Structure 1
């Protein structure tokens, strides 16, 4: 019976995988409003280096890739989660946990991932070492629920996190470890004694403090392994912001609509941070949405803020509709990604783009081709993106503005997709200095321009208009008044 139900669950999952999972928005992390800047000089230095990178890759890869479903969340018994109604919840969980004996990524190729990311113009990595389902993508000694205890365990590269980090370091990337604070597989988080009604710990920590203490130690020890055994790391990116000290639950957090218990789910971040930074001096800590000293930059998810932000931040967006690999997913166009990158950077942030490797360990062709197109644009126009900061006026319609480290001003005009390139580009504000030159980065040549009051008009070379949609955006460099 269990096998039949598991098969039904798999069929349902594959059907759902073909559809945009808009209910997934219930699992989206909102952005913190408050920000506390770090005081450690090494962290400050690392943060400024990170702010120069602008474009990163987040890889969600785990058990959920095998059936191609939403990452982890179908284990959670909340009203927005859809599962086959004929399958008992406990049977579904057994089926999901059993995927650990099917996950065998025999074509695992992190060098390909790093090469594609490099070609895309990306400069930092965040890799999911463990998602909410608790399945470790590294050789943890704290649990046997990991990639090294399944069919891939005999592979020389079974400790996949190690090889992912190495491959991206070799390409010059800043490297970050994603780690979920909640662990739904741990009996000290979801105690088998009780039902698992939602994303939170399923027992009253005030009544069983000894059990939560065991979970704190488990979490500390797994993070300690990552900090000590996997080479130099730049970022510890902690997900699951509902697991937080009770005193940080304010009106902002309650407005999310996610269930919040009346007790603290504190994993003891001061202790974790001290250990992590002793092993990795200057480490950036990103305790998502838990405003305070351990959220060194903010992480709005699946959206771009509607205004410029002064605090360090990144928009976490997906290349397709889902974070992990889902068959027949709908991918965003390279033009849309480039426009998002331009807008994010002009507003002071970085773009962390989500891609899910396939269960065999390779990247989908749809992802590779799109990323390479983005990289072709950045290869020519990257000086308007990398190492830049905001300007007082950061936007005029579909044109955005950035400023380079030596004071060069950039105007980046986002062009309509699949339409001919216009013959002129105009914007208001950010006026070039009188008599100065404006360079079109696409060609490296000067362009003619005129000024009428606070309005600038650029005359584009006629040759640019010959191929409709060939240029997602055109960037111009100049010296501003």
Structure 2
């Protein structure tokens, strides 16, 4: 989600903006019912893992994930139809928001034409997963992640427990299954993302009404009982009283979440499961993770699955369980455990008004992340019909050209003793990704006895690497050879100040250059 979306979600003033006045808020708080009994998930499926925290902590991140470095994500679904960007299904019910204005102008008032009426418009008529996967492989992806279900509560697979799914509405096909077959045919690991955990609270806007004429007090379509299985039952006190929790305390919804996520795991046997937040719902969420891990053990003979979750917002963050995900940001320095950045080259869902990352921005981010023991999970924006936005097409083309020359400096590497040097320091934490690097910013990776130095810009003349000066503490052996990937050996000098390398006038690849350095 965007930083603005997350801040707006958590902001109490939106209660009024969505049509819930102070009097109704007080009434809802006064009518809070006693909390129902917690949902108890079934016992863990056969295997070494249980829902106990210590059991899940014993899991180890598989080597495939540490080697992969780059994954491509299809963060895609019906919310791409209006072409207005992220969180459309929520903000189309918030008067004053541009999504509400667009919806009323384009489709009608949300009391009459709601999000349920957007879903059938998502036809995905130009969706070609085989051709797209070829592009992703060429761009360097070693794993692929399909959206399983977003906050809009619409399942993209043949869901056993939910009639609102892509095999019955919209594309009339198992989108997750189509992606899985294309990815596995090309040797990629396959993952799914679930954003369902937040859906119950996220969508309380759909149950409200305008506070002005001519539709004063006329409820939106989410308030109609026949639509509750899409928009959820009325959203009441836990969210309102606590000022914006990402996850509901409603045990009925916990059961719905568990059954559908386990069905997603069983239907498509993913190698990776991503949750958009912390681990949802305590023991319920941990039981789903145990199921993911145990099914991986049964399928592979050993645990080969990855679970992504965030140290952000609601839910539990347990650093030793799975892989930490950082939305649109990085961690500081070399983290001792593998981690992942998730970001998009544009908005999360297609927007006609979007601003896209350049190929240079994506490739410098990739080099910085990998040098710090991280992976990049990159959403490549698709239009509603399944085709690529022009900026996405250009990005994949340039990434493919870059990977042809420089992939060995990325895939299968590990961090060096120091992640890098240079004048630019990336801020750490989520939503901190607009860093402008220079050719003097260097990032290091290592593999097979070689050290790779990646310049986060296009160098002119020579490259000076201060950390590799003669007699440095990190690598006291003298430099024996320096090669520019795609060009061959280069002249260099190593003195007490730096390793200085003469660069050719014509570089073999754009944006980031990779030097292979070997030592005596």
TM-score range, shorter chain: 0.7 to 0.9
Q: Note the aligned Cα RMSD (angstroms).
A: 3.4
Instruction: Please list every run of 5 or more consecutive structure 2 residues that lacks an aligned counterpart in the other structure.
Output: 11-52, 204-227, 298-302, 423-439, 470-474
Structure 2 residue 515 is the aligned partner of structure 1 residue 471: no
What residue in structure 2 maps to residue 318 of structure 1? 344
Match among 156, 165, 169 for residue 150 of structure 1 = 169
Which of 254, 275, 288 pairs up with 2:310? 288
Determine whether 1:61 maps to 2:76.
yes
Tell me which residue corresponds to 1:395. Answer: 420
Task: Sort the Cα spacing of 1:382 and 1:201 in 2 relative to 1 into closer, same or farther, 3 A.
Answer: closer
What is the TM-score of this pair, normalised by structure 2?
Answer: 0.71
Paired with 1:202 and 1:436, the residues of 2 have a C-alpha distance of 56
1:382-433 CA distance string (max 9 Å, x none): 11111111122221214434343322111111225xxxx5111111113574
The answer on 1:110 being equivalent to 2:129 is: yes
User: Aligned partners of 1:87, 1:326: CA distance in 2, in Å?
Assistant: 14
| Contact 2:153–2:231 (CA under 8 A) maintained in structure 1 | no
Call closer, same or farther: CA 1:86–1:474 in 2, change over 3 Å: closer
SS in 1 for 2:273: strand
Please, which of 193, 216, 219 is the counterpart of residue 257 of structure 2? 219
2:274: which partner in 1? 237
Query: Are 2:153 and 2:230, in contact at CA under 8 Å, matched by a contact in 1?
Result: no
- The number of residue pairs the alignment matches comes to 411
Q: What do residues 153-184 of structure 1 show as CA deviations (whole Å, max 9, x unaligned)?
A: 2xxxx111101111011121111110122234
Counterparts of 2:54 and 2:497 in 1: how far apart (Å)? 37
Could you say if the C-alpha distance between residues 90 and 334 of structure 1 is closer, same or farther in structure 2, counting changes exceeding 3 Å?
same
Determine the structure 1 residue equivalent to 2:496: 453
Matches within 5 A, 1:102-181: 102-153=121-172, 158-180=173-195, 181=197
Going from structure 1 to structure 2, the CA distance change for 1:392 and 1:92 (only over 3 Å counts) comes to farther
- Alignment check: 8 A CA contact 1:136 1:145 kept: yes
SS in 2 for 1:437: strand
Q: Specify the SS of the correspondent of 2:167.
A: helix
Hey, what's the Cα distance between the residues in 2 that align with 1:159 and 1:427? 51
Unaligned runs of 5+ in 1: 1-19, 30-34, 206-211, 245-264
- Structure 1 residues 80 and 381: CA distance shift in structure 2, 3 A: farther
1:299 corresponds to: 325
- Which residue does the alignment assign to 2:286? 270
Distance 1:37 1:461, change over 3 A: farther
Query: Would you say the 8 A contact 2:442–2:465 is kept in 1?
Result: no
Equivalent residues in 2 for 1:312-461 (5 A)? 312-320=338-346, 322-397=347-422, 398-416=440-458, 421-431=459-469, 433-434=477-478, 436-443=480-487, 445-461=488-504
Contact 2:57 2:321 (8 Å CA) reproduced: no
Task: From the superposition, tell whether residues 27 and 291 of structure 1 become closer, same or farther in structure 2 (CA, over 3 Å).
Answer: farther
